[in-house]
Structure 1
Amino acid sequence: MSQKRRTFLKSLGLAGVGFTLSPSILQAKPKALAIGKDLSLVTLSGKVYANGKGVAGVAVTDGINVVLTDASGKYEFESNATAEFVYISIPRGYEFNNEKSITRFYKKIESIKGRFKADFDLKKLAQDDTKHNFVVWADPQIISEADAVQLKQESAPDLKQLVGSYPKDTLFHGIGCGDLVWDKFELFEDYQEALAITGVPFFQVIGNHDMNLDARTDEGSAEKFKELFGPTYYSFNRGDIHYVVLDDVFFIGTAKKYIGYLTERQLAWLEQDLAIVKPGSTVVVNVHIPVYTKQHIRNKDKEESIGGVVSNRKELYRILKPYKAHIMSGHTHFNEKIVDNENIVEHVHGTVCGAWWTGPICYDGTPSGYGVYEVNGSDVQWYYKSTGLPKEHQLRIYPAGAVAEKPEHVAANVWNWDPEWKVEWLEDGKPMGEMQRETAKDPLSIELHEGAAKPAKHKWVEPLLTDHMFFAKPSAAASSITVVATDRFGKIYKEELKLETTQSLVR
């Protein structure tokens, strides 16, 4: 055996094992193996049209590349066999095509001889969409038929009623912000039935409880979600707002283990997607796991939970820097606003299911409910809607002694608070100034959740520290306390507490 041949076999780990390669094998051209991913090229093409006429400038993507339709509404580009869908970023001024409130903006790629053709038929809106509203439903998270009944009989009719309280033809859409079910895929049908009751077209975000838990990698964990709702990251437009949905739940290959993380593929796609959005525009990014929360600070933990925030969020912040951005999330079952970045407001939402359908509130005392956003041009205003309660219900007052650490103070939970709010109090009608904000647990959450024996339905639920609790010390002779909360938009909310009567904490 020549030295050159011996060196070659050694490099393959075959030297000295009596293995001989024929010259024909050594000279043969490599062939693709039958196993593994198909990386062959696929040509995607088609047309985006409305009323038979092509629509120019519509973004079309396979989740890897982003192209724009030409003057006649046509597109064509090279993809590869790893791409699962071809889909559009619905342009402003058009309806959201949906099937019983599930939006459909995509086509599953079924390549024939390396080509796939997909046309998209749009319908022009009857009115201008510069003004429109949207809602964020975080964590419906149904695990049983009983949960599904509550979703369909309480949450869905509540949203339907809210929409009906606005002027006729007001535009609404919804974001299902992840954990649509609780690992029970058979209940996805109930979730879809609930959306149909609302009459609002919904876009879906994948949550950690919407994943295939037997997948071997993150790539396979979204299989069922994609089957029902299409791609896990995409964008669409309404009025002056560009909406983005991302998948920030990274499954690490063992049941119910995940981290908050955005893959390179998504970030690279997002850079392309936003390249056609004018700097200074308002962008609304929707994820399941919060990009950031301050819960670890409130709990005095040494570090953030890797499953509770997005580890590589700095890259997302960098990409969003040229825009005015809002980030929508759920996952935590508490309500929080993060305004640390000058161009970004992060909205961590209280949940539709509260503390997993155990009662009327979340961990932090926020009522079960959802976020409501009113858009006018690039301006976004918002409030929190408690299920089954008027939209003016924005705080809850507790008598002195309700918070053990502050026995002489009345307390108020103002769950949608952010630093632009003002929370003041009056004693017997006399203005007393601003209340003091402190980190504390909500008394009703303690009453309903604290201890190993409760709540009976899910005994592991416990109250959490929150930073939207406010305190004031009334005089001994006071007979009534009024809390006046003014939000960042100048809307005023009031609640009164009669000190001489004993009231239930449940309000």
Structure 2
Amino acid sequence: MTLNRRNFLKNLGITGSLLTVPSALLQAKPRIKRGNKDLSAITLKGKVHSGGKGIAGVAVTDGINIVQTDARGQYELASNATAEFVYISVPAGYAIPENKSIAAFYQPVARTGGVQQNDFELEQLETDDRKHNFVVWADTQMRSRKDVELLKSQSVPDLQALVQSYPKGALFHGIGCGDLVWDRFELFEGYRQAVEACGIPFYNVIGNHDMDIDARTDDHSANTFKQQFGPTYYSFNRGEIHYIVLDDVFFIGAAKKYIGYLTENQLQWLEQDLALVKPGSTIVLSLHIPTYTGAGRRNKGEDPIGGTVSNRKQLYKLLAPYKVHIMSGHTHFNDNWEEGNIMEHNHGTVCGAWWTGPICGDGTPGGYGVYEVDGTDIKWYYKSTGLPKEQQLRVYAKGRLQDAPDEISANVWNWDHQWKVEWYEDGVLKGPMERRVSLDPWAVELYAGPELPKKHKFVEPTLTDHMFFAKPSAAAKQITVKATDRFGNVYEDTLMI
């Protein structure tokens, strides 16, 4: 072994990561180990096909490097025994492969060295997938069997009904946006059963409550999640949209301690993935911890280190050539921000206030995001569990919020800067309402104080940007609030005084 090769292996052992491996090492036949890390060469090869006919240009990866299938649908990828999976970026025009509704786009890599054959069979769609829909389930976060039953009895029927409300044959997929459970891994089975009952394929994201908190380092903190759902970062395609999932929960070696951070391995993989995507394309990128929110500004401080992605600007640089929608969860509030080519949708939770109340701490009802794709255009709305999709705001009586005793207030939970919120007094338009950083009145009543709520006393109301205020006259009898979203949809709620 030459000195350079010895130093190379030494560096791999120190960093715990594998980047591009020299060809001499990949061709080596003996088992190569550094400590307990096996670095033996593996050649991954196979075919991506539909009914035996090869599919060209499909991206295949081991999570380290990416190759594309040739004209016959065949691929060959020089890899290493540290690789855990070989997986594909499902191309547009094909059904999402699934196992009981869990996306099945990957195969485990056997730790035997040599040449390994892994074929992938896809089913060509009969429907044009340039028009499709997807939902984002953030923070199902179940801690008990009772929580699982609530997911099955409330959230599942709601999503089933939503899908059935669309034309027959409409394409749907789901994104489980992390914190699928709440540290209780035996409940993954309940999550899987709920997803299967929904009847649409789900891709899944790792959250901080889906990690092995007894792991020595971040490298092994996703072991259980991977056994259930496969790789923690990957991509797929549907119609003209390129979808990416990343793992931004970095475990720092102490129970329940983590930061929002993207590793160099992921960013190097992402560079390769994006190199196959035409600049100007629309990308939907999902991760658990939001890259950014308005929470720090609202609380007149900085976002906690576990609340946003510390190296997000490096991610934004890679995404600069594209039109990007980021899907995130984690915060248990609903927050939308937009700047330049990026818009982030930080979702309210499926579990509401950890299955202890019907709304999140910012007043957003428990629910999920719904996205309708037509070509490169995406429209969206928030679907509150158990409520019609037309219900997008809630109006509160004068004085319901103690800080505003003379004002009516309205929570427009999926608001962004392109919405318009107006109010009418006894049928007369009075103009736009005043938006202020505030608490939601109902959230205060349900969650404020050390004794509320009884199930999880740590839950507290949180400040939000989507509260609106107006001062009615003393003689007012009826107040109507109309909110118009960026797509021209008008929602309203009326309050009788």
Same fold, judged at TM 0.5 (above): yes
Correspondences of 1:149-160 after superposition (within 5 Å): 149-160=149-160
What residue in structure 1 maps to residue 306 of structure 2? 307
Q: 2:361 aligns with which of 343, 360, 363?
A: 363
Per-residue deviation at 1:114? 1.8
SS, match of residue 228 in structure 1: helix
Per-residue deviation at 1:359? 1.1
What residue in structure 2 maps to residue 220 of structure 1? 220
What residue in structure 2 maps to residue 498 of structure 1? 496
Instruction: Work out the CA distance in 1 between the residues paired with 2:322 and 2:34.
Output: 46
Instruction: Work out the CA distance in 2 between the residues paired with 1:443 and 1:403.
Output: 5
SS, match of residue 37 in structure 2: coil
Instruction: Work out the CA distance in 1 between the residues paired with 2:34 and 2:425.
Output: 78
What residue in structure 1 maps to residue 23 of structure 2? none
- Match status 1:342 vs 2:344: no
What residue in structure 2 maps to residue 247 of structure 1? 247
Correspondences of 1:444-463 after superposition (within 5 Å): 444-463=442-461
**Runs ≥4 residues deviating over 3 A:** 31-34
What residue in structure 2 maps to residue 98 of structure 1? 98
* Residues paired across the two proteins, number: 467
1:225-271 CA distance string (max 9 Å, x none): 00010000000000000000000000001110000000000001001
Instruction: Work out the CA distance in 2 between the residues paired with 1:245 and 1:67.
Output: 18
Segments of 5+ residues of structure 1 without an aligned counterpart are: 1-30, 500-507
What residue in structure 2 maps to residue 318 of structure 1? 317
Instruction: Work out the CA distance in 2 between the residues paired with 1:320 and 1:94.
Output: 25
SS, match of residue 486 in structure 2: coil
Q: Which amino acid aligns with 1:324?
A: K
Q: Which amino acid aligns with 2:287?
A: V
Correspondences of 1:267-278 after superposition (within 5 Å): 267-278=267-278
What residue in structure 2 maps to residue 429 of structure 1? 427
Provide TM-score, normalisation by structure 2.
0.93
Counterparts in 2 of 1:455 and 1:295: CA distance versus 1, 3 Å? same
Provide TM-score, normalisation by structure 1.
0.91
Matched-pair identity in %: 65
Instruction: Work out the CA distance in 2 between the residues paired with 1:176 and 1:35.
Output: 36
Per-residue deviation at 1:32? 5.7
Per-residue deviation at 1:101? 0.9
Q: Which amino acid aligns with 1:102?
A: I
- Match status 1:127 vs 2:127: yes
Correspondences of 1:47-196 after superposition (within 5 Å): 47-196=47-196
Instruction: Work out the CA distance in 2 between the residues paired with 1:187 and 1:105.
Output: 23
Q: Which amino acid aligns with 2:407?
A: H
Q: 1:377 aligns with which of 370, 375, 378?
A: 375
SS, match of residue 209 in structure 1: helix
SS, match of residue 291 in structure 1: coil
Per-residue deviation at 1:112? 3.6
Instruction: Work out the CA distance in 2 between the residues paired with 1:189 and 1:343.
Output: 38
Instruction: Work out the CA distance in 2 between the residues paired with 1:113 and 1:87.
Output: 18
Contact 2:33–2:40 (CA<8 Å) still a contact in 1?
Answer: no
Instruction: Work out the CA distance in 2 between the residues paired with 1:438 and 1:494.
Output: 19
1:435-479 CA distance string (max 9 Å, x none): 000000000000000011110000010000101000000000000
Correspondences of 1:395-414 after superposition (within 5 Å): 395-414=393-412
- Point out the structure with max Rg over C-alpha: 1
Counterparts in 2 of 1:34 and 1:288: CA distance versus 1, 3 Å? closer
What residue in structure 2 maps to residue 9 of structure 1? none
SS, match of residue 338 in structure 1: strand
Segments of 5+ residues of structure 2 without an aligned counterpart are: 1-30
Per-residue deviation at 1:304? 2.0
Per-residue deviation at 1:406? 1.3
Per-residue deviation at 1:99? 1.5
